[in-house]
Structure 1
Amino acid sequence: MTFLSWSSSNDKGIPELLSWLKQLQVKLHNPPTISYPTSQGQMDICITSGSQDGLCKVFEMIINPGDNVLLNEPVYSGTLQALKPLGCNIINVASDEYGIIPDSLKEVLSKWKPEDSKNPKKNTPKFLYTVPNGNNPTGNSLTSNRKKEIYELARKYDFLIIEDDPYYFLQFSKSWIPTFLSMDVDGRVIRADSFSKVLSSGLRIGFITGPKPLIERVVLHTQVSNLHTSTFTQLLVSQLLHHWGEEGFLAHIERVTDFYRNQKDALLAAANKWLSGLAEWHDPIAGMFLWVKIKGISDVKQLIEEKAIKKEILMLPGNVFYIDSSAPSPYFRASFSLASPEQMDVAFQRLAQLIKESL
């Protein structure tokens, strides 16, 4: 059998994969917009070459130079690198171990009146971007109640919500937190999903879900940039998903999550063993990262980028996850995706010694 490598009808994605993913989104999120007419923001899906590809196209679609956009730092550094060249004003909304703090969002929005959203000269925020589950780098997740408050503020001030959720399937609790997409009655949520964390990052397959008029414009962007996501890769993923079925896919997700849960427990055991009294952290409830604050050191950049690397410890300093990456940060991000429990133990033992020497 021969498959065409390119077809103008496949810019959005191959039909069999799109159909499967649409059914999955309905099963997992049951978006209110699934039955809406196109003019009212009917839910639609397109395939992208990884969720980063889709998010960059969404940002370029929405943002004009000088626009205000909202996010909560620390934030995925790839998002900052995508936003900054677009010339927008990035406004931080404070967050804690439970995600964005609604009162902080209210405070940020208080400089505008709700009716200002109808006047382009008022420059009200275009969107709020957030990673709601297992945030990279903090491992924090936004609670359901906070999501409801945030969504109501989005309705009041008429801005979009970009729900970047690559760690949705890696929630350690058996009860998954409802998504913004599941409560989207207006067609104002654009959701990015990825197979990178649960199948393979090398596949470069993601999908964007959102209002049909906006998804159509993402597809137009695809037509003039990379034409479409690899048909071969889409067919590979589609055949696998159809072979598994929805229940088989979710069973696979459970096995992957069990692996990451065990990895997380091993890293926390090593942290408690070696870093107690030297650092502080919150247990991540999703994802693959631990966000650690070292006590007594205001900026850990040199410690992590120079001294730790010499001891064969690879982690990221916290400053790269902030809008102003030049500002000092006492935080670092540790990943538990690949290291063995033995490697984690040795790494934190060596790090503890470095911290003591630096105090």
Structure 2
Amino acid sequence: MNNKYSAKFNIDYTKFKTTTSKRRRPSATRELTKISYSMPHNVISLAEGMPNEETFPITEITVKLTGGASFVLEGDELGAALQYIPSQGYPPLLQAMREYQKRVHNPPTWDNREIIVVSGSQDGLSKALEAIIAPGDPILVQDPVYPGVTIVLAPHQAEIIPVPQDKLGIVPDKLRQILEKRDIEGKKMPKLLYINATGANPTGSLMPTDRRRKIYQIACDYDFLILDDDPYHFMYFTQEEPTSFLTLDTEGRVIRLDSFSKVLSSGLRIGLVTAAAPLIASMELHIQSSHLHATTLSQVILYKCLKIWGYNGMMEHYRFIRSFYKERRDRMSEIATKYLKDLADFEKPEAGMFLWIKVRGIKDTWNMLMKRGIKHGILMTPGAAFLIDSSMSSNAIRASFSRINYEEMELAMKRLAKLIQDELSYENLLAIDNT
């Protein structure tokens, strides 16, 4: 571990927190639950409002894993898996995840960082944004962007500042120009940049390390935090694993969102937030006042998988995931080229599970897909759904290759080609009628 940096980050995190976040106070009962998990066994507790495990109707859960391994939850272990836990997470999993994050990302220092288990990375995204972005606050957001960001920000009426992307993601020079202009004009400066640098949703781009370094330096220069939403970190199709912003984080500016939805199970609803301890503490207080903690059973299942597989076994599982989706990516690209080569353009995605298609000759794909797509037997997401400015049009389409089989891929691209051809003919007729 690299220890050349100070163990304490020289950042006053209170300036980044909203007034609401600062007003949150710990729940006495939640704090007692936390204490109960760490106190000596000879202490008799009558403090928590926990139900008696003997009343739980489930007596055994057997989980079988690919590769032949299995485990059984029963007795005290099952009781713990069905019980209340501290809001930060299941203690054995928390410790395992700390070691996991250190090994995967090797951040410059760990001493002033913490993690919290959340109910999927969308929950972590929501908690992080609501801790930092107050009504009217400016926030930097990659454009196009995952819509889960804008639905969180909309009620807060945040000033969303779109940052242009190219085929490698956010453009550092464009980011710096935006900030320089705001500074000169005396406008309020943003506290946060939202970024999805690996397998960007919807474009599938993968940002190279040198560009990430430039963006991180800009964050240091202009004193803002980076919310790194990274659900596709292990679903890259390049030779080398992407360098995460956490790996580059010398100052404690990165809030990292991890998800096990894409690599383990989306239904388990397990995500992870890694950030400076004061920011994690704010999110924990929010969870105390909302859903108390992420599902215990899901956390125990994840912990048992880690325990059985070990770190190397988990990495082997990720290698399988990459191989699986890379093959589908390659096939989808081949089929799309076959049917769309004269109708649309796309970049072969370097990570994730989406093909970002830009249709030639059509300004907006919304009506084509939403009104006429189903009649042609296909359902895809129009590009406008990912734009910051919903009034703008987009000629793009996001097509997912994660679940459909190869026969369905072939049929879908064939139907899309026919839909585009019909749409072009329809627009040509309209143009003739208007002349």
- What range is the shorter-chain TM-score in? over 0.9
Of the structure 1 ranges 18-27 and 248-257, higher mean CA displacement relative to structure 2 is found in 18-27
CA distance in 2, matches of 1:292, 1:61: 35
| 1:250 and 2:320 correspond | no
Matching residue of 1:162: 227
CA distance in 1, matches of 2:423, 2:376: 14
Counterpart residue identity of residue 377, structure 2? E
Counterpart residue identity of residue 24, structure 1? Y
| 1:22 and 2:87 correspond | no
Matching residue of 1:108: 178
| 1:356 and 2:421 correspond | yes
CA distance in 2, matches of 1:331, 1:139: 13
2:345 to 264, 280, 286: 280
Indicate the SS of the match to 1:135: coil
Matching residue of 1:215: 280
CA RMSD of aligned residues (A): 1.4
Q: What is the number of residues matched between the two proteins?
A: 347
Matching residue of 1:64: 134
CA distance in 1, matches of 2:224, 2:307: 37
CA distance in 1, matches of 2:282, 2:116: 10
Counterpart residue identity of residue 103, structure 1? D
Matching residue of 2:255: 190
CA distance in 2, matches of 1:201, 1:174: 26
Counterpart residue identity of residue 54, structure 1? G
Matching residue of 1:234: 299
- The answer (yes or no) to whether the contact 2:268–2:298 under 8 Å persists in 1 is yes
Matching residue of 2:159: 89
- The answer (yes or no) to whether the contact 1:317–1:331 under 8 Å persists in 2 is yes
Which digits, 9 at most, give the CA deviation of each residue in 1:64-119, with x for residues without a partner?
Answer: 111110011111011111111112100011110101101100110012449x9xxx
Q: Relative contact order, CA 8 A, sep 6+: which one is greater?
A: 1
Which blocks of at least 5 consecutive residues in structure 2 are unaligned?
A: 1-74, 425-435
- The answer (yes or no) to whether the contact 1:33–1:186 under 8 Å persists in 2 is no
| 1:130 and 2:195 correspond | yes
| 1:74 and 2:74 correspond | no
CA distance in 2, matches of 1:267, 1:129: 29
- The answer (yes or no) to whether the contact 1:300–1:331 under 8 Å persists in 2 is yes
Q: CA deviation at 1:62?
A: 0.4
Counterpart residue identity of residue 275, structure 1? L
Matching residue of 1:180: 245
Counterpart residue identity of residue 134, structure 2? N
CA distance in 2, matches of 1:23, 1:242: 12
Which blocks of at least 5 consecutive residues in structure 1 are unaligned?
A: 36-41
Of the structure 1 ranges 279-288 and 20-29, higher mean CA displacement relative to structure 2 is found in 20-29
Indicate the SS of the match to 1:260: helix
Q: Which has the larger radius of gyration?
A: 2
- The answer (yes or no) to whether the contact 1:31–1:43 under 8 Å persists in 2 is no
Indicate the SS of the match to 2:97: helix
Of the structure 1 ranges 186-195 and 14-23, higher mean CA displacement relative to structure 2 is found in 14-23
Counterpart residue identity of residue 26, structure 1? K
Q: CA deviation at 1:197?
A: 0.1
CA distance in 2, matches of 1:332, 1:310: 17
Matching residue of 2:27: none
| Aligned counterparts, 1:281-296, within 5 A | 281-296=346-361
CA distance in 2, matches of 1:316, 1:187: 36
Q: CA deviation at 1:241?
A: 1.2
CA distance in 1, matches of 2:131, 2:237: 34
Matching residue of 2:26: none
| 1:34 and 2:110 correspond | yes
CA distance in 2, matches of 1:298, 1:122: 33
Matching residue of 1:271: 336
- The answer (yes or no) to whether the contact 1:132–1:163 under 8 Å persists in 2 is yes
- The answer (yes or no) to whether the contact 1:137–1:289 under 8 Å persists in 2 is yes
Matching residue of 1:38: none
Normalised TM-score (structure 2): 0.78
Q: CA deviation at 1:261?
A: 0.4
Counterpart residue identity of residue 110, structure 2? I
- The answer (yes or no) to whether the contact 2:182–2:188 under 8 Å persists in 1 is no
CA distance in 1, matches of 2:387, 2:160: 11
- The answer (yes or no) to whether the contact 1:292–1:332 under 8 Å persists in 2 is yes
CA distance in 2, matches of 1:354, 1:58: 41
Matching residue of 1:13: 89
Matching residue of 1:44: 114
Normalised TM-score (structure 1): 0.94
Counterpart residue identity of residue 101, structure 1? V
- The answer (yes or no) to whether the contact 2:376–2:419 under 8 Å persists in 1 is no
Indicate the SS of the match to 2:178: helix
CA distance in 2, matches of 1:113, 1:312: 50
CA distance in 1, matches of 2:174, 2:330: 32
Which digits, 9 at most, give the CA deviation of each residue in 1:115-136, with x for residues without a partner?
Answer: x9xxxx9521010001010011
Q: CA deviation at 1:237?
A: 1.1
- The answer (yes or no) to whether the contact 2:346–2:356 under 8 Å persists in 1 is yes
Matching residue of 2:125: 55
| 1:313 and 2:370 correspond | no
Indicate the SS of the match to 2:227: strand
